[in-house]
Amino acid sequence: MTNWAPDLASRNGPRYLAIADALAADVAAGRFHAGDRLPTHRDLAWRMGVTVGTVSRAYAEAERRGLIGGEVGRGTYVRAASGDLGNLMSPAPDAMGNLIDLTFNFPPPAAEGGVLGETLAEIAADTGLLQSLLSYQSCAGRRSHRAAGAKWLALGGLEVDPDRIVVTGGAQHGMLTALAALTRPGDRVAAEALSYPGIKLAARLLGLRLDGVAMDDDGLIPEAFDALCRSGDIKALYCVPTLQNPTTLTMPAERRAAIAEIARRHGVAIVEDDIMRLLAPDAPPPLSYYAPDISYYITSLSKTVAPGLRLGFVAGPAGAAERLAAAVRTACWMAAPLTVEVGARWIADGRAERILAARRREMARRRARVLDVLGQHDVKCSEGSLHLWLNVPDPWHAGTLAAEARARGVAITPADAFAIRRRDATHAIRVCFGAAPDMAALDRAVNILAELLKSEPPEALGTVV
Ligand SMILES: Cc1ncc(COP(=O)(O)O)c(C=O)c1O
């Protein structure tokens, strides 16, 4: 690919960002393979009629996004092939310009700013408390914080003693904590064939081998899970049974009971990521409810209240809290007590539920709008979901659609980012409509997608060689 030179005609904004975006789009579309070499700075500058400095800035931006790397003697080469590490395409917010970035599963804006000011003032007024929050705490979390966790879990239908709960810095950290407590490098972990990309990152970090389990419209297929368990020593199942990411599916109660029974029969621990639960209008009891003796239940305030609080909880089986706390201690000693205090107060006095209710109303409004425009396509978008999952119509490929959408100012994620094995990648895209800054931006974005879906992909027009 040393002759790569993108066409920037349809791209606005600074040239260096346009080049980095074009590179990201070509990676997403599968036009590069990891290890492909890129032109030298001087060559690309000459071919595109820009300065060497512009190309250097573009490559620096692409490197910052993790797309490319460089070594003396090897030149610049592509690091990530399509979907390799999830959100690599996303630029830093300050570099986004006109891009409407729908790749992150953000909750929509809610008016929590004023509430935060009040809460911080309350905390600051209690100097004794403030001093202790600014010091080291128990690695599992303060008693009051674990009690807030128990209340949050009870809202979702799971009654757990606070002693079994460990406070984490969000659900991703909760997942890492549970897996670190449960597994050793080389262990096999099962997951839905299409799953939240954070599990791939966690497995890579912990040296775990992931096995994708086939799904249908009710989620994990019990027979497929049973067959996998029989084929070898699966240590744990990582599963998102409610408003699954990316398919938005919620597993029905009978299916949960069947999966729990299979896991128990084979001695497989369940790591249930239930981060979306309180957004779902009527989800059945958690999977952990059916198998509390083998389950590690994870949730956080990220999708329901505020991701920046970095507040999550893990509830393990009886006797697991010490191992979980040890895993927290190893990673970060403890979740940040000050922001945990904010979230715990909001849970304890009901402010968290009020923010959640506002977010749910906004999500319902957005979902209706998105389905109005894209609903005639093959979409999954269960009520409460922060995103939509769309099977792209033939002859579009998910990667090409994502690249073309990005060229028009809308960032979405193709299915391969979620596939545990490459063969599980379908021709689908995820559109995180909660992430649009406002309704006008959302309208613009979905109309661009609708127009694209009506048109011919570039391959059909013979523009790809
Ligand atoms: C299923 C799932 N689990 C975990 C996370 C990470 O959550 P947190 O921000 O609490 O770490 C996400 C974020 O998108 C998610 O979708």
Q: Note whether residue 126 is domain-resident.
A: no
Q: Which domain holds residue 288?
A: 131-351
What's the average model confidence in pLDDT over 240-262? 98
In angstroms, the Cα distances linking 271 to 180, 316, 453 are 11, 9, 37
CB of 105 sitting under 6 A from ligand 1:
yes
Query: In the numeric block, which tokens belong to residue 386?
Result: 């922060």
CATH no. for residue 43? 1.10.10.10
Residues 318, 326, 302, 151: is their CA dihedral positive or negative?
positive
Per-residue pLDDT at 92? 41
Per-residue pLDDT at 86? 41
> Each residue of 352-386: pLDDT tens digit?
999 999 999 999 999 999 999 999 999 999 999 99
- Ligand 1 centroid to 278 CA: how many Å? 14
Per-residue pLDDT at 24? 83
Quick check: 391 pLDDT over 80? yes
For residues 4 and 158, give the distance between their C-alpha atoms in angstroms, rounded to a whole number.
Answer: 54
Quick check: 30 pLDDT over 90? no
Q: Note whether residue 136 is domain-resident.
A: yes
What's the average model confidence in pLDDT over 452-460? 82
Q: Note whether residue 138 is domain-resident.
A: yes
CB of 413 sitting under 6 A from ligand 1:
no
Per-residue pLDDT at 453? 95
What is the percent of the chain with per-residue pLDDT over 90, rounded to a whole number? Answer: 71
Instruction: Select from 302, 314, 386 the residue to mutate for testing ligand 1; criterion: most ligand atoms less than 8 Å from CB.
Output: 302
- pTM for the predicted model, two decimal places: 0.81
Confidence label for 461 from pLDDT (cuts 50, 70 and 90):
low
Q: Pick from 295, 325, 351: which residue ends a domain? A: 351
> Each residue of 154-198: pLDDT tens digit?
999 999 999 999 999 999 999 999 999 999 999 999 999 999 999
Burial of 264 (0-12, 13-18, 19+ CB in 10 A): middle
- Ligand 1 centroid to 106 CA: how many Å? 9
For residues 332 and 319, give the distance between their C-alpha atoms in angstroms, rounded to a whole number.
Answer: 22
For residues 286 and 277, the answer to whether their CB atoms sit within 8 Å is yes
Residue 165 or residue 461, greater confidence: 165
Average pLDDT, the chain: 90
For residues 211 and 184, give the distance between their C-alpha atoms in angstroms, rounded to a whole number.
Answer: 16
What's the average model confidence in pLDDT over 52-75? 77
Domain check: are 140 and 271 in the same one?
Answer: yes
- Ligand 1 centroid to 198 CA: how many Å? 7
What is the percent of the chain with per-residue pLDDT over 70, rounded to a whole number? Answer: 92
CB of 170 sitting under 6 A from ligand 1:
yes
Domain check: are 50 and 169 in the same one?
Answer: no
Q: How many Cα atoms within 13 Å fall on the side-chain side of residue 173?
A: 26
Q: Note whether residue 414 is domain-resident.
A: no
Q: Note whether residue 72 is domain-resident.
A: yes
Per-residue pLDDT at 360? 93
Domain check: are 201 and 53 in the same one?
Answer: no
Domain check: are 267 and 165 in the same one?
Answer: yes
Residue 345 or residue 113, greater confidence: 345
For 354, other C-beta atoms within 10 Å of its C-beta total 16
Q: Note whether residue 411 is domain-resident.
A: no
Number of domains composing the chain:
2
Confidence label for 221 from pLDDT (cuts 50, 70 and 90):
very high
Domain check: are 246 and 347 in the same one?
Answer: yes
Domain check: are 163 and 263 in the same one?
Answer: yes
Domain check: are 76 and 135 in the same one?
Answer: no
Q: Note whether residue 391 is domain-resident.
A: no
Residue 448 or residue 78, greater confidence: 448
Domain check: are 44 and 171 in the same one?
Answer: no
Per-residue pLDDT at 95? 44
Instruction: Select from 179, 195, 303, 310 the residue to mutate for testing ligand 1; criterion: most ligand atoms less than 8 Å from CB.
Output: 303
Q: Pick from 299, 316, 351: which residue ends a domain? A: 351
Domain check: are 14 and 160 in the same one?
Answer: no
Q: Pick from 351, 378, 403: which residue ends a domain? A: 351
> Each residue of 65-106: pLDDT tens digit?
778 877 655 678 777 554 444 444 444 433 455 799 999 998
Per-residue pLDDT at 90? 47
Domain check: are 202 and 319 in the same one?
Answer: yes
Domain check: are 184 and 270 in the same one?
Answer: yes
Q: Note whether residue 220 is domain-resident.
A: yes
CATH no. for residue 280? 3.40.640.10
Per-residue pLDDT at 47? 86
Per-residue pLDDT at 87? 43
- Ligand 1 centroid to 275 CA: how many Å? 7
- Ligand 1 centroid to 126 CA: how many Å? 32
> Each residue of 261-273: pLDDT tens digit?
999 999 999 999 9
Total residues belonging to the chain:
465
What's the average model confidence in pLDDT over 216-238? 96
CB of 312 sitting under 6 A from ligand 1:
yes
